[in-house]
Structure 1
Amino acid sequence: MHILDALDFHARFRSSELAILHAGGAVSFAQLRASVLAAASRIRVHGFDSNLPVGVYITDPFHQFVLTLALMHEAIPSFSGSLTYEPPPDGVAFGAYISDRHAPFMAGASVVTPDAAWFAPGPAVERRAFKSPKSLVRILASSGTTGRSKAVAFDSATIELGIRYPAMIGALGEASSMTLIGLSSGLGFRHRLGHLQMGNLQIFPPQRLVDAMNVMRIYGVKFLTASPQHLQTMLEIAESAGMTFPTLTHLRIAGSVMPRVTLLRVRARLCPNVTGDYGCTEAGMIAEAPGDLLDRIPGCAGIVHPFNKVEIVDDDDRPLAPGAEGNVRVWSPSIVTEYLGTPHEGDRSLRDGWFYPGDLGRLTPEGLLVLLGRVGEVINAGGVKVSPDLIAGTLLGFGGIRDAAAFGIDLPDRPTEICAAIVTHQPIDTAALLDSCRRVLGARAPHRIVRVEQIPRNQMGKVLVRELRQRVG
């Protein structure tokens, strides 16, 4: 089945039913299909090379979604950029960009800026077919185990499997739904396509979280997917404003394990029915846990889905007995086999048909996965993974900074804080430096910058992270 077959069906079977509520209004399934066809006709006029992916950098999430579907209609692979306009993964050649603003990384490529006419109904165009079932359809960015952005390639069959299997056990949730996870992520992409295929009403959130919370209350959102970072901010807003969400019946936490203290606050203030989701871009949803398990078992990642495989192995990739601690590796029907673009030296996270997410854990005889920490030192701040070296290298690019290091600080009541330490012998405005980092790194920027006299290192120049944490406090 083509990805758009479900939209064609819903546009005929339930043509007048609402498909999406968004900041600019609402569209039925028939109207959504008409917008996709209109955008497809505009894309066809520009004659994009179907052998090269098109990067979509559009601030409006509804228009970004429509353009993604329109590119699928035209058999052109796509990549959705983040709302912070971070560059795409290294080494992937893009044929063009559809963007509402220019960014430095787009230099030398064709950049097309759509207007309202792109989405206005017009003459229908016949759908084009991809050259083969294995043709590239979608690129998603994943930090994997390195914290550096990597391009993950998906064909239509892999996308379908990543939606079909979770839907079989109700893991995609119910209507009406909202996800705060962006379309550029694997979860955000699968969530939106999955609910479209099931004919569920989706509510696309406004950019500001407080506005999204008001939309949830006005339109009666029942199912919400959010990261620990989102939920931490939502708690602060809800508690200060006295907000409640009486229609919210199910809340899914995705991205990383949430601290128990925060989990208790979420269940008390936002929604008592909470599910934790463990997954990755490379293999999709792997396991999930109800709120009671999350509350009772520290580090609980969830019960492994019946169609997936999880093993705990030693450093030589030999499977360990149930209950033993070791490296986590996962397999799913929708697992990818390789990355596109520039290979990352030493990255062996995809090998022998398995994905190694870089987690340490144990698996109980009942199939419950419990996480114990990270194999490396990649910072995972509420699902945002970043290499400390990337942050340090960015800081060293600013004038006056002599040395720099980055690390994560685990906090009892909110997601891990990204902290950076700098050495400088001249006055420096740390607030301005933080702003500069955010412009370069987006969500991967440090939350806090601290000045120190010296970065502790060993004789090989490696940062002594534990000692640095003690100095910073």
Structure 2
Amino acid sequence: MGFVDTLLYHARVEPERPAVVLVDRVVTYGMLARVLRAIEIRLAQAELAKGDVVGIRVGNPTRHLAMLIALQRSGLVSVALGDDVSVTAALPLKAIASERIEPPRPGVKQFLVTDDWFAGGADMATPRPPVFDDDDECCIMMSSGTTGRPKPVWLSPGVLEQWISQLTMSMAGGNFEIVMCGMSVAGAWGYAVALTALWGGKTLLLSDVARETLHMISLYRAEYLVCSGHQLRMLVECQNEHFVPCGSLRHIEVGGSLLTSELVATARAKLGGRIISEYGTTEAGQIARSPVDRLPAVEGAVGQVLPWATIEALDGAGRALPQGHEGILRLRSTAQGRWEDIGHRNASDAGERWFYPGDVGFVRPDGCLVITGRVGDLINIGGVKIAPDRIEQVLLAHPQVKDAGVTSFAGAGGLEEVRAAVVLREPVESEELIAFCAARLIDGTPRLIRTVDEIPRNVGGKIVRERVRDLLT
């Protein structure tokens, strides 16, 4: 029985059970099944063929999720359209379903998605044989963009079901009823969490706004929270301003950035629950994971490599290094999609589908993955290489710095210099911040610090350094 049929089973057995909850509305399993039926009727009238790629731009996360599921049930390949048109221009789009009028694209049909697309009638969608086989490509997720421009990753029903199975195992064996997800369902991680929750008949709470998230956790008694490191920091800040009891939380799964011991300690005190570090990619799913209290006291430790994943560190010539030696990482798993060749393959790949996430690190003899930096982000200060996130953590330790993004520029004589963008709680002179960093860093003190309204981040909460560079040019 496939994922969608399992969802429809829950709709028949417990139609009034909340399936997806936003801050201002609740969608039950029965309502979701009726909405799927309404969307499928629309799609059947669209004169599209199996395997056609349909871009969607629907802001409401519940509607977006319903569109993704209905497209797969109808044999159509879905892709969430971002604001960067150039990224998706090369995709073989056959149609765009959007809440707004899109700029015309030759050969691409357009459907204006209005409220009546989601006005479910009395009939629910019913189980039926899947249109896609397990190995067919049924959806496209855009990568995070941390290895360059975001790229399309094609996923099959078989891969999605492996994600669900693996997440169910790793997320406390599914031993919870209500999960709060701060990740966008337009991104791979948020989508995987949503599918896992609905497959298990759970209640899925969705919000990427810290204050809303806290109130929803408290009101609905959420037991499991999934968020990025940046979101966790914003939740802690909101708790410092106005405390909301979150005693129901048992697990907090965090990914997208390295966790400092200070943030972990504060989050435990302000939110409760066991904090879990997670490392994964759009291309290959979950790769490493561990409760932070089981991580070794090593900077950059992110978790035990999961049994379905393989990671190797390579030297500059592309040769695999012995375990415990730092190098450029490559990885693969039993649940990975198809992506374009981005020029990182080498002769030692021997036709195997390795993915190069752009990270530098190593796997310890005990199986723990340690990330020491990113290939393209490491800043070379007179021969000393330093990761920008280390400098960001120092800036975030200043009481007036709410968020920070660091990058490098070519300085005088061709030497790299560090620059930083910061979001401030209260005004503070850049000279004070530079002196604050100089007192705590041997290398990497920023030469320039500029105040901005927001640090650019992707749907996974990771800093988009190309856009940070634009802010500091």
1:91 and 2:62 are equivalent in the alignment: no
Residue 287 of structure 1 deviates from its aligned partner by: 1.0
TM-score, normalised relative to structure 1: 0.77
Residue 437 of structure 1 deviates from its aligned partner by: 10
| Structure-1 residue corresponding to 2:324 | 323
Structure 1 gap ranges (5+): 380-406, 424-429, 452-473
Tell me the SS of whatever aligns to 1:245: coil
| Structure-2 residue corresponding to 1:74 | 74
Closer/same/farther in 2, CA of residues 179 and 146 from structure 1, 3 Å limit: same
CA distance in 1, matches of 2:27, 2:202: 13
Residue deviations 1:133-152 (CA, integer Å, cap 9, x gap): 43221101114662211000
| Structure-2 residue corresponding to 1:446 | 468
1:267 and 2:249 are equivalent in the alignment: no
Select between 437-446 and 351-360 the one with higher mean Cα deviation. 437-446
Tell me the SS of whatever aligns to 2:27: strand
Residue from 391, 405, 409 that aligns with 1:417: 405
Alignment of 1:401-412 (within 5 A): 409-412=391-394
Q: Is the 8 A contact 2:23 2:216 kept in 1?
A: no
Closer/same/farther in 2, CA of residues 220 and 91 from structure 1, 3 Å limit: same
| Structure-2 residue corresponding to 1:37 | 37
Q: Is the 8 A contact 1:162 1:190 kept in 2?
A: yes
Closer/same/farther in 2, CA of residues 184 and 66 from structure 1, 3 Å limit: same
| Structure-1 residue corresponding to 2:357 | 357
Select between 124-133 and 6-15 the one with higher mean Cα deviation. 124-133
Tell me the SS of whatever aligns to 2:67: helix
Q: Is the 8 A contact 1:420 1:450 kept in 2?
A: no
| % identity of equivalent residues | 26
Closer/same/farther in 2, CA of residues 419 and 364 from structure 1, 3 Å limit: closer
| Structure-2 residue corresponding to 1:182 | 184
Alignment of 1:383-402 (within 5 A): none
Residue 450 of structure 1 deviates from its aligned partner by: 4.3
Tell me the SS of whatever aligns to 1:279: strand
Closer/same/farther in 2, CA of residues 143 and 20 from structure 1, 3 Å limit: closer
Closer/same/farther in 2, CA of residues 422 and 18 from structure 1, 3 Å limit: same
Tell me the SS of whatever aligns to 1:242: coil
| Structure-1 residue corresponding to 2:240 | 239
Q: Is the 8 A contact 1:19 1:32 kept in 2?
A: yes
Closer/same/farther in 2, CA of residues 130 and 418 from structure 1, 3 Å limit: farther
Closer/same/farther in 2, CA of residues 435 and 357 from structure 1, 3 Å limit: same
CA distance in 1, matches of 2:152, 2:279: 20
| Structure-2 residue corresponding to 1:12 | 12
CA distance in 2, matches of 1:100, 1:366: 50
Alignment-mate amino acid for residue 120 of structure 1: A
Closer/same/farther in 2, CA of residues 101 and 219 from structure 1, 3 Å limit: same
Q: Is the 8 A contact 2:34 2:125 kept in 1?
A: no
Q: Is the 8 A contact 2:229 2:256 kept in 1?
A: yes
Tell me the SS of whatever aligns to 2:3: coil
| Structure-1 residue corresponding to 2:56 | 56
Residue 300 of structure 1 deviates from its aligned partner by: 0.8
Tell me the SS of whatever aligns to 1:269: helix
Q: Is the 8 A contact 2:144 2:458 kept in 1?
A: no
Residue 193 of structure 1 deviates from its aligned partner by: 0.6
CA distance in 2, matches of 1:178, 1:81: 24
CA distance in 1, matches of 2:455, 2:324: 42
TM-score, normalised relative to structure 2: 0.77
Structure 2 gap ranges (5+): 380-387, 398-402, 412-421, 424-450
Closer/same/farther in 2, CA of residues 105 and 151 from structure 1, 3 Å limit: farther
Residue correspondences, number: 411
Residue 107 of structure 1 deviates from its aligned partner by: 7.9
Q: Is the 8 A contact 1:41 1:124 kept in 2?
A: no
Tell me the SS of whatever aligns to 2:191: helix
Closer/same/farther in 2, CA of residues 324 and 231 from structure 1, 3 Å limit: same
Q: Is the 8 A contact 2:58 2:98 kept in 1?
A: yes
CA distance in 1, matches of 2:406, 2:106: 31
Closer/same/farther in 2, CA of residues 44 and 23 from structure 1, 3 Å limit: farther
Alignment of 1:188-207 (within 5 A): 188-205=190-207
Alignment-mate amino acid for residue 175 of structure 1: E
Closer/same/farther in 2, CA of residues 204 and 145 from structure 1, 3 Å limit: closer
CA distance in 1, matches of 2:11, 2:458: 42
Residue 436 of structure 1 deviates from its aligned partner by: 12
Backbone CA RMSD of aligned residues: 3.5
CA distance in 2, matches of 1:250, 1:138: 30
Closer/same/farther in 2, CA of residues 4 and 229 from structure 1, 3 Å limit: same
Q: Is the 8 A contact 1:278 1:302 kept in 2?
A: yes
CA distance in 2, matches of 1:245, 1:131: 42
Residue 189 of structure 1 deviates from its aligned partner by: 1.0
Select between 180-189 and 102-111 the one with higher mean Cα deviation. 102-111
Residue deviations 1:198-226 (CA, integer Å, cap 9, x gap): 11111122x64322322222222211111
Tell me the SS of whatever aligns to 2:468: coil
| Structure-2 residue corresponding to 1:148 | 149
Residue deviations 1:361-399 (CA, integer Å, cap 9, x gap): 1212221111111122289xxxxxxxxxxxxxxxxxxxx
Closer/same/farther in 2, CA of residues 377 and 440 from structure 1, 3 Å limit: closer
Q: Is the 8 A contact 1:80 1:183 kept in 2?
A: no
Closer/same/farther in 2, CA of residues 157 and 450 from structure 1, 3 Å limit: closer
CA distance in 1, matches of 2:199, 2:454: 41
CA distance in 2, matches of 1:30, 1:284: 30
Tell me the SS of whatever aligns to 2:45: helix
Tell me the SS of whatever aligns to 1:354: coil
Q: Is the 8 A contact 1:421 1:449 kept in 2?
A: no
| Structure-1 residue corresponding to 2:114 | 115
Residue from 345, 348, 365 that aligns with 2:345: 348
| Structure-2 residue corresponding to 1:166 | 167
CA distance in 2, matches of 1:422, 1:145: 21
Residue 417 of structure 1 deviates from its aligned partner by: 0.9
